[in-house]
Amino acid sequence: MHQNRFAIVLTLALLAGTFALYAAELPQIGQQAPGFTLPSQDGTNVSLKDFSGKWVVLYFYPKDKTTGCTIEAHNFQVALPEYDKKNAVIVGVSVDSSESHKEFCAEQSLTFKLLADTEKKVVDMYGSTREMSGNKLAARNTFLVDPKGKIAKVWTQVNPNKHSDEVLVELSALTKK
């Protein structure tokens, strides 16, 4: 009986520690988007405030050059003219380095900004951290930021195959209002 209680307490403590890893809250609709500055694939620093007056599709993804991330990036790239028409920019964030982003963009002909959050501060600020094989990566979440810098829509655990289409539908609905 005593061992069972110990096992239960230990299990609960481990679960609490696991949840603490994901404790950062997702920014909510209507809330000001947390500001940040990160290096891009071309080595220049990019800040969220640089896009003031535009819609920003801020998408977090786990890793350059992986299947799902490549599909998601390609879909955003293909739809880029549609985003341009809606005064929207695409900005991807992962914990990969600027150099990794540079290679990924060159290999995949990506023209939008990919930002390197190697210190994992922005993924934490956006509640978009996940553990994978003992490494802290970005979770596949997206935040649509309106031209005034407020969160307009949040998607979590997105499907990279259809996500760009989902974002365009929502952006179209919001820009008609």
Boundaries of every domain in the chain: 26-176
Among candidate residues 56, 53, 169, 170, the one with its CA nearest the CA of residue 113? 56
- Please report the pLDDT score of residue 5 as a whole number: 57
pTM (2 decimals)? Answer: 0.85
Catalytic position from the list 33, 69, 114, 168:
69
Q: Is 69 a catalytic residue?
A: yes
- 83-92 per-position pLDDT tens digit: 999 999 999 9
In sequence order, what E strands does the chain have?
Answer: 37-39, 45-47, 55-60, 88-94, 113-116, 129-132, 135-138, 142-145, 151-155
Largest CA distance in the chain: 66
> In the chain, which stretches have pLDDT less than 50?
1, 6-23
- Please report the pLDDT score of residue 177 as a whole number: 65
Strands 142-145, 55-60: parallel, antiparallel or unpaired by DSSP?
antiparallel
Q: Which CATH number fits domain 26-176: 3.30.540.10, 3.40.50.720, 3.40.50.740, 3.40.30.10?
A: 3.40.30.10
- 156-174 per-position pLDDT tens digit: 999 999 999 999 999 999 9
- Please report the pLDDT score of residue 92 as a whole number: 98
